[in-house]
Structure 1
Amino acid sequence: MPAVEERIAELRNIIREADRKYYVLDAPDLTDAQYDKFMAELKQLEAENPALITADSPTQRVSGTPLQEFPSVKHTTKLLSLDNVFDLEGLRNFDKKIREVFPVPAYETELKIDGLTVEVVYEDGVMVQASTRGDGVTGEDVTGNVRTIRSIPLRIPTELSRLEVRGEIYMPKDSFLRLNTECEEQGRAPFANPRNAAAGSLRQLNPAITASRDLSAFFYEIQFADGKEFTSQEEKVRFLREMGLPVNPRNALCGNIDEVWAKQEEFLAARHDLPYDIDGVVVKLNDLSAQIALGETSRCPRWAIAYKFPAEEAETILEDVTLNVGRTGVIAPTAVLKPVQLAGSVISRATLHNFDYITMKNLLIGDHVVICKAGDVIPEILRSLPEKRNGTEKTIPVPEHCPTCGSAAVRGNGEAAYRCINPDCPARLRESLRFFTTREAMDIEGMGPAVIDLLLEEKLIAGIADIYTLNMFQLVVLDRMGAKSAQNLLNAIAESKKRDLPRLITALGIRNVGTRTAQELCKHYTTMDSLMSATVEDLQKIGDIGPIVAESIVTFFADESNRALIARLKEYGVNMKLYQQEVLPQLLAGKVFVFTGTLSSMTRQDAGEIVRQLGGKVSSSIGPSVDYLVEGASAGSKHAKAVALGIRILTEQEFLAMAGKEEAVPEKNEEPEQLSLF
């Protein structure tokens, strides 16, 4: 190897080892000046020999090309969330369920870092992709930005062809304070807290900005390790450390739930002395075979739990109450508070939910109140302190009129909310437009709240259908729009016309009709016209539609203004039909299935989708209405319940044969050797 190549390789190894000792071992062996000297030499040699530059070189952390947008990434393994508990009783209940399956459990405890979850993928030891969690199934590709975080290695010492790891990116407290000082000096709005700062910094389209924000990370989970097996959570964490990935040094193995409780008290006491924000402790069953036996729900594992620290409290003064009008006309009160520091951010507003809540809490304007951050996120008033009243306090009046348009405010029978009854209320219109364009509705990228407000202000739109009349001449002259942004927005509007019918139904904002209800409706009504003609009686024949939802739907479509809106949308080319998918024979019509254990050829979620496509239903629990229990590996106590009720038990192969996916195999209903709780 020529001398230049040898020196470049040597410098890269020196810098990588220095990063590992600094970020992973917390034992730096180079001064900043020495580190900078080695980095400068490496940059110089690579500049003189560009053919020797590699993607995993420490000099290549920052890309020079800003992105236009973040591409979507589908995770190969679903990134689940965690259930929460808030007290010792909750932890004991979790432990009780575990011990019914695994009598002597040990638990790995981790600090719950208040940051942003990411998945990082290494192939043959080289970082190839990093993505946000997103909805757990699909996230955003932030590889270029994650590469700029020096605590995350670009190369790791492994022979594995693919390694997928999960961690939390955060901003240290001192870095957060420096960033906010810079923001204030530059006349920019400061960030509310370190978590928001970390999330905003990671989602910068220009990696150079992310690189300047001093983000860091801790890793805690291996999603996939090709060809390598582990027996415990502790072993996984040890492997992460061996790979040079930063792991929180405070992670600890506890022999029982009492030790877990003692450990969380230790963490809670140290909370404010740590250089980063935490909001709880994650507790994981250490034994991986037991984890597999316990399994998971569609949302979270049964073998792990998040203990959330008690909400921090602060005392302040309720200075005023403002009223905001939502898209359905609900008039929501918001508390205006004397600014107070709480849980790392300045709080000046809090939710009041509705006027029954105000009465229940005995709140007056001018009251001293105790506030908390519910779940350490949403500020909420816990209670008033009437003993501190001095007689100057004022009652909070119930609204008689809409604060925006002046129309009557009406409270429906059995409702806690007051509503504006004017369908043309400007506030309702603005919120309806905002909802119509959101990702779960028509997903019009680039038409966020600021753009909608601008379009309303310039009187370019006066209703939802007007979105589809916008043109380049109108948009290009708007502030901060420009020709390219205008064209991108018009393209997004045109693309939204192709959205499937469930999205349009969701976007219309019918009371009590969300995404799932819209999808259920479209199983029975494949065109907008057929849905508009449905009666309350017709709708209630759908299993999940009750009288309240049915009445909301019929009332919405009986309104002439809503019918006129749909007519205009149809005129402008918005799709009004359900895109026809492959019509499958309803082999499982009317049959109810329960799945338990680990299936070998698919996930339980995939199996459930097969059942639904073939006309059947899926239940999560055994009961008299269940027809079949499908068992995979490590099946649980559902077996005994099914036997007691005379429910037929199927193997995975038998289920596939019934669904027309494989040839049938002989039935096998023997008692499994081991039972688990779930």
Structure 2
Amino acid sequence: MSTATGPAEATAANNENATEPEAVPSGSVREEYEKLVDLVRKYRFAYYQEDEPLVSDAEFDALFLRLEEIEALHPELVANDSPTQEVGGEVSAAFAAVEHLQRMYSLEDVFSLEELEAWITKAEASIVKLGDTARPAWLTELKIDGLAVNLLYRDGKLVRAATRGDGTTGEDITHNVLTIKEIPQELTGAGFPPEMEVRGEVFIPSKAFAEFNEALIEAGKAPLANPRNAAAGSLRQKDPAETAKRPLRMFVHGLGARDGLETATQSETYALLAKWGLPVSPYFEVLGSLQEVLEFIKRYGDKRHSLMHEIDGIVVKVDDLATQRALGYTTRVPRWAVAYKYPPEEVHTKLLDIAVNVGRTGRVTPYGVMEPVKVAGSTVGMATLHNQDVVKAKGVKIGDIVVLRKAGDVIPEIVGPVLALRDQQDPPVRDFVMPTECPSCGTPLAPGKEGDVDIRCPNARSCPAQLRERVFHLAGRGGFDIEALGWEAAIALTQPAEPEIPPLVSEAALFDLKPEDLAGVRIRREKRSKGVPTGEFELVPYFFSKGTAKSPSKPTATTEKLFKELEKAKSQPLWRVLVALSIRHVGPRASRALATAFGSMDAIRNASEEDLAHVDGVGPTIAAALKEWFAEDWHLEILDRWAAAGVRMEDERDESTPRTLEGLTIVVTGSLPDFSRDEAKEAILTRGGKAAGSVSKNTSYVVAGENAGTKLDKAEQLGIPVLDEDGFRELLENGPAAAPESAADTATADDATSESLEATE
């Protein structure tokens, strides 16, 4: 949780840009102010002392900013104990209170690039007033979403560790911090001060957090809400042995009190700390301009979910320490540092209901229906809950206030309930009960096989929901890639409001459709008034225009495009046809391997289970699923009707293509100017190589294009040859004997050092 300030300082007295104060606050303003103070204190206590956030960071930031706004307009309301004048939270009575030798401050938060630019411009103007006309260098680093900790070293030995607390007094958590292996109990080397406070952030790495939560769910326990609260809760365990079980790490990012340490810059200080054995984050750069800072923010915003830890923003600091001292502090924050906050990816909302969806292979998946809320730049009203065991493990009930997370393009996820608010819900919360019959066709639900956690609708052939999902899937980019056949079109083809019998009762008939077959298809749509939904619905034609006396109904432009794309889809390669069949476990990778190994649908169909399993990238589970799929008569009907309609069921073998990559495993990462990702994989497979998705010691070459990222880092760490696009062409044409040993020194590797600790893609 941030203790945010906007571009303004805490009060009008120390804010050069503050709005002119109003003469007398009205009763409603005073009432709002008092309510805000109480809420901010309540939420801050719950967050810092109880590790139980009652609102999301975004909601807290909005409340805090409003509090500052009122104080700027009415400075006479501001008391010394206002939350805007305090740092962090109170000190828990469960731990011994310790005073920091030097106060720990919070950071000023900004929430837009415009605010950041204004802050930097103001800071640079202040530096000029100090007599320094040189442009400042900005140490720019990731804002770790963890718990601030202060380490006290005397004569190189760790004697105390404490939380930030209220900035002056923290909680003694020494015994728990000693369980974090990478925090040295004794510094290495020489030259460290006799006494020194080291500040940093304790966190749980993203991958370790996911694995820890999976273990909790398997054990029937509720998962932890997020890495930040997990780290805070871990350090507040009464028993250090319990803390030791948590995968905690720490990065240090500054100093408090120190006796005799003289360095010129923050970055130089980081180098010294690392030399003494302290863990310094690799994610920082010293930059010379606002433009470079903005590029840093965009770069890490684009790949924030491939980093080793969660971040919620970027911290920008004046690198020069003398300038830092000259700029000084407000009552709460340094004037030489600011935190830019990315749009929130975790919010709180109400869980209105838990419904279920029937997937293309019959799997029945619960999902949450929530009060729509904006998160990660989009409005979300639904989120997956995976299966009934996950619902139970997460402990969510219908009517709960829940934590919702959406990381970039990842499917929104309900993390868990805000338990402290459960008893306050009206109507009372209730348990979710998994249905026993398919909500789409009424067939009794059951596990696919003994021991399965998931339950399925066994009516694969006739279940309308499964057919709808299969039709939508086969049109996807991994299948036939039919752009005009989206989600609503799949519903219109399989489950229209009219006619009673839909155009498709099986995907077998897809390529037999004619435009006239769709003329009477109608769907139910909500009426709108000036773009706003009215709550009233009407039946409208989907594939044809409405038609009038003067202009008869005819296929829409999208419908005409659909039939053109259906015709084009018939010539797609064999692997795409395999993906389109919705065979359980058979995705693009296995489909490519099968198409390369057998060349035709008939050869795959007639192969033994053992032969299928021996194909690299297939294995026994997929082999068994294939044989089971081909054993169904209605599945064979799909193949026969597609083939009769002209769908390609055999790849053309170009015997002239040399098998230059036999026995080689190639990983392609980043973007190549003349190869799409699929084209690069196709080129590897047709030459006998294996196109892998991750780098390991068995990788023969890595082909790195622009924005190659962590796969390039992994290749360099393992000493695997790295090729650029020219090297890749040489490898394809003439094999490994002609390929350069490495092209890792090209521009594609420029960022490898700063990204070297990112999680493997």
Structure number with bigger Rg: 2
Q: Taking structure 1 as the reference length, what is the TM-score of the superposition?
A: 0.49
Q: Taking structure 2 as the reference length, what is the TM-score of the superposition?
A: 0.44
